[in-house]
Chains A and B, each alone.
Chain A
């Protein structure tokens, strides 16, 4: 079974708007990561947040982690057409470090 579940499954926004997607997981984690996948390409790492961190920023990305709710959110501010992609959360857990478990992803479409 999947450790991470993203919500929503799909998101359509206009350029300049913010995009928010959520990830929920089932068991205690070491780290949670977000990846982007452009159509037909491999995944690209965006940001990693450790279990003892609550918020992290990288450019237009903001990630939060709430371990009490076993959830994380990814916010992309001021979206661009180039942000059109699928976004996945991935976790590694305390009893399986290094073995990433991915959710099903959120498809984001940013229209000009």
Chain B
């Protein structure tokens, strides 16, 4: 079982560039989320999805888009990268509605210069 797979592991972008962070899970989880982790601030929720075709905003959604066309995949798009988006990004999936144990990917370290 691969669990939650994120690609790439590292990325450097120039300000204004766009890119997509990929996330895939093979556990047939309904719920998937994207978080960013900044020093001293823990994880903050960017967007989440409760199933294919359904997404919603989290705490810090500005500058990011998501879509969920399949149960397995939940890509995060940066529309026009800014230095403030330099962070470590984590994708997570949840087992089921009544249990919120989240399974995390290994993270993508993004630097915007």
Quick one: CB contact mask for B70-113 with A, threshold 8 Å, 1 for yes? 00000000000000000000101010010111111111000000
User: Beyond A43-B104, A45-B101, A48-B101, is A98–B45 a contact (Cβ under 8 Å)?
Assistant: no
Q: Which A20-67 residues have C-beta < 8 A from chain B?
A: 30-31, 33, 35, 40-45, 48
Q: Which residue of A lies closest to B109 (CB)?
A: A40
Q: How far is the CA of A102 from the CA of B90 in the complex (A)?
A: 13
- Whether A2 contacts B90 by the Cβ 8 Å rule is no
- Whether A102 contacts B43 by the Cβ 8 Å rule is yes
- Whether A31 contacts B42 by the Cβ 8 Å rule is no
Q: Which residue of A lies closest to B48 (CB)?
A: A99
Quick one: CB contact mask for A1-15 with B, threshold 8 Å, 1 for yes? 010100000000000
Q: Which residue of A lies closest to B45 (CB)?
A: A99
Count: A-B pairs, CB below 8 Å: 65
In the complex, what's the smallest C-beta–C-beta distance from A102 to chain B, in angstroms? 4
Task: Check A101 for interface membership: any CB of B closer than 8 A.
Answer: yes
- Whether A101 contacts B45 by the Cβ 8 Å rule is yes
Residue numbers in B under 8 Å from A2 (CB-CB): 41-42
- Whether A98 contacts B107 by the Cβ 8 Å rule is no
Task: Check A75 for interface membership: any CB of B closer than 8 A.
Answer: no
4 further A-B contacts with Cβ under 8 Å, apart from A30-B100, A102-B43, are A2-B42, A33-B102, A48-B99, A98-B94
